Chains A and B, each alone.
Chain A
Amino acid sequence: MAHEDHGAIYDLLAARGVSRRDFLKYCGSIAALLGLSESFVPQIAAAVNHGAKLKPAVWLNGGACTGCTESIAQVDTPDVATIVLDLLSIDFMETLSMAMGEDALAAAEAVFEEPGYILIYEGSVMQGFDGNALRIGGKTGLEELDHAAPNAAAIVAVGSCAVDGGFVMANPNPADATGVKPYLESKGITTPVVNLPTCPVNPEWLVAIVVDVLLLGSLESGAILDKLDDWGRPKYIFGQTIHDNCPRRGHFENGNFVNEFGTEEEALGYCLYKVGCKGPQTYTNCPIVRWNRRTSWCVESGAPCIGCGNLNWVDVGAPFLNRHRDLPLPSVGNTQPGVVAGVVAGAAALGLGLHAVGMKVTGRMDGGAPYEEMKAHDKKRMQKGGGK
């Protein structure tokens, strides 16, 4: 039993000031996140405990803001999550590697030569300018990904950019950004991709994937693939909408809304639906897992969800404080759908009004015009046919 097994992990935990109780509680929350019962807690604890010899991992940065790196790396005190992530032997990471230049690239090269590593990819795949929108160590970003992807056991695409291009692929998308999975599919590379959208990625999800894929062996067994939806997102993280798990949902059902910021309604913590919350159409478990080491998350802290876990999230979500997205109308520019509907309806009302005037002037309002004797078409044919 893991409790009695004083393996390397417990020394590590002790060194970082984390009690065994905290550790097991954390394993319990991972079990819940993965949709496993409490009986899996010892198994997860044991897996973490014995997981010292892990597959090496490489973290590549594509076209993005490095926010996902920030999200994962920004921890002021070590906690259990960082210890789990420490179990990933990240041998190369452009932004955080100690090694620089040729040495760092050589380390990555050494990993790529041994098939079976985990490739973590952050940022979009920028295809524009013949791939020259992103260059690393004298190569294009595309060449680097082409080189790194085929030998990987699995690719974890972290953040919306790596999933489908994220904010980088928003209109007009000059860099022709796309996600890792669609890019690899276009190249015929079949390495399995686990997609973890949102901007940035939530470290808790990476922990869950590390435990699930590496420690519980769901990659070898193929079980992980059954847990992914059509877009390669783990269903246990991205299977339900924010709206359905939102702590403000009661206010929504009651019809208590924040009409604008800085009001009493906002102070009362009412629903943010009217100020553009995209929770009803965004599939992530943010309300359950929360962010910043489970402190809070966007809606809890008073900001409407901007739908960063959606596909093409900027184009379908902006303007973020409106209920509807904008429609990019040619020669008009970005327009709200309601405005278009109003203009069309106004034109129709005007048309009917003018028509009614015409009906009045032509005296048709009282019963319509007299009926024709025969169809105009038949009349014409008869005249043509000899004026019968």
Chain B
Amino acid sequence: MSHPAHYREAHPLIFVFTHWINLISMVALAFSGFYIHYPFFANFMGVARGMHFFFMYVILINLFVRIVAAFFVKSATRLGTREVETDIKNWLPQKLNRHQLGAWLKYYLFLKKDHPIGAKYGVLQKIAYIVTIPLTLAAAYTGFAIYAPFMDAAFFAAGTDWVGGQMNMRIIHYYIMWVFILFTAVHAYLANVEGVAPSRLIFAWKEEEGLRFDADGKVIGGSGH
């Protein structure tokens, strides 16, 4: 019907890597985290803890690299174009996003028939992606606060006192993981429900032709299958 073109400019190679690292780290962290919460089979605790403590640093370094790269790497400014600009522009409010929050909500709730015009990311999409940054940091903070080598440091101990002890801190850490699981489920669903081109691009860096858009979000050519 009307699938936008998916060009490599949308996801430069470095972001293909950071996305892979995020995915692998999150799966490893969620699995080992569940195991540490409740060891559902025997003889794996040492490995599970090792995995958890390794990938927590990997994901934090990866987040740092991703944020720094946003200021140096150019990526496509909108859907279906090869025009690029510094990637960070895609994370700030853009002209094409203005006044579109309601339109996106209506579209997702089947109250609007046609697809809202968006920048590279739609309004809700952009907000959801940005929220993963504080969410990752919150997971890191609550995780360090229950991790023996760090939990007595004043910076973490003060937070633990504030939430009412380590049991509460553990439950918050546990729920943050569930928020990530929900985010991932919705993210994977919305990214692929209208076609798997986004996955082919972000995972395999494979392009797919489709609709092309001008700077005002108007379709200027290409076919949407």
Q: Which A residues are closer than 8 A to B by beta carbons?
A: 230, 241, 243-244, 252-257, 273-274, 278, 280-281, 307, 310-312, 316-317, 323-325, 327, 337-338, 341, 344-345, 348-349, 352, 355-356, 358-359, 362-378
Bound-complex Cα distance A255 to B166 (A): 22
Known: A230-B161, A358-B110. A348 touches B186 (CB 8 A): yes
What is the number of contacts between chain A and chain B, taking CB atoms within 8 Å? 155
B1 touches A254 (CB 8 A): no
Bound-complex Cα distance A369 to B38 (A): 44
Contact-residue size bin, chain B (C-beta under 8 Å from the other chain): 35 or more
Question: Which of chain A's residues have a CB closer than 8 A to the CB of B98?
Answer: 375, 377
B99 touches A377 (CB 8 A): yes
A364 touches B219 (CB 8 A): no
B110 touches A362 (CB 8 A): yes
Bound-complex Cα distance A301 to B1 (A): 69
Residue A345 contacts which of B38, B39, B181 (CB distance < 8 angstroms)? B181
A371 touches B42 (CB 8 A): no
Q: Does B221 contact A (CB under 8 A)?
A: no
Residue A317 contacts which of B167, B178, B224 (CB distance < 8 angstroms)? B167
Bound-complex Cα distance A247 to B199 (A): 50
Bound-complex Cα distance A257 to B37 (A): 13
Q: Which of B30-63 contact A (CB under 8 A)?
A: 37-39, 42-49
A373 touches B167 (CB 8 A): no
A256 touches B42 (CB 8 A): yes
A368 touches B115 (CB 8 A): yes
Question: Which of chain B's residues have a CB closer than 8 A to the CB of A365?
Answer: 193-195
A368 touches B39 (CB 8 A): no
Residue B43 contacts which of A255, A341, A368, A378 (CB distance < 8 angstroms)? A255
Question: Which of chain A's residues have a CB closer than 8 A to the CB of B200?
Answer: none
Show 20 residue pairs from A and B whose CB-CB distance is below 8 angstroms, ordered by the A residue.
Answer: A255-B46, A256-B42, A281-B146, A325-B168, A341-B175, A344-B178, A352-B186, A355-B108, A356-B189, A358-B110, A359-B193, A363-B1, A366-B1, A368-B2, A368-B115, A369-B1, A369-B113, A374-B117, A374-B217, A377-B99
Known: A366-B225, A372-B115, A372-B116. A341 touches B161 (CB 8 A): no
Known: A324-B171, A345-B178, A352-B186. A371 touches B225 (CB 8 A): no
Bound-complex Cα distance A257 to B103 (A): 53
Question: Which of chain A's residues have a CB closer than 8 A to the CB of B211?
Answer: 371
Nearest A residue to B186 via CB reads A352
B157 smallest CB distance to A (angstroms)? 8
B38 touches A274 (CB 8 A): yes
Nearest B residue to A348 via CB reads B182
B39 touches A273 (CB 8 A): yes
- A311-B165, A376-B103 given; name 4 further pairs at CB < 8 Å: A244-B148, A337-B175, A344-B178, A344-B182
Question: Which of chain B's residues have a CB closer than 8 A to the CB of A374?
Answer: 117, 216-218
Bound-complex Cα distance A253 to B171 (A): 22
* Most chain A beta-carbon contacts within 10 A, residue among B3, B47, B166, B186: B166
Q: Does B153 contact A (CB under 8 A)?
A: no
A281 touches B219 (CB 8 A): no
A333 smallest CB distance to B (angstroms)? 17
Residue A341 contacts which of B116, B178, B210, B224 (CB distance < 8 angstroms)? B178
Nearest B residue to A252 via CB reads B45
Q: Does B170 contact A (CB under 8 A)?
A: yes
Bound-complex Cα distance A317 to B174 (A): 16
B46 touches A370 (CB 8 A): no
Bound-complex Cα distance A278 to B168 (A): 13
B197-208 interface mask toward A, CB cutoff 8 Å, 1 = contact, 0 = none?
Answer: 000000000000
Nearest A residue to B37 via CB reads A323
B149-166 interface mask toward A, CB cutoff 8 Å, 1 = contact, 0 = none?
Answer: 000000000000100111
Bound-complex Cα distance A273 to B224 (A): 56
A269 smallest CB distance to B (angstroms)? 15
Nearest A residue to B45 via CB reads A255
A369 touches B107 (CB 8 A): yes
Q: Does B18 contact A (CB under 8 A)?
A: no
Question: Which of chain A's residues have a CB closer than 8 A to the CB of B38?
Answer: 274, 323
Question: Which of chain B's residues have a CB closer than 8 A to the CB of A372?
Answer: 103, 114-117
A348 touches B185 (CB 8 A): yes
Q: Does B100 contact A (CB under 8 A)?
A: yes
Known: A244-B148, A312-B165, A341-B178. A367 touches B99 (CB 8 A): no
Question: Which of chain A's residues have a CB closer than 8 A to the CB of B166?
Answer: 280-281
Question: Which of chain B's residues have a CB closer than 8 A to the CB of A281?
Answer: 146, 165-167, 170
Question: Which of chain B's residues have a CB closer than 8 A to the CB of A370?
Answer: 1-2, 114-115, 224
Question: Which of chain B's residues have a CB closer than 8 A to the CB of A366?
Answer: 1, 3, 194-195, 225
A336 smallest CB distance to B (angstroms)? 10
Residue B42 contacts which of A253, A257, A317, A324 (CB distance < 8 angstroms)? A257
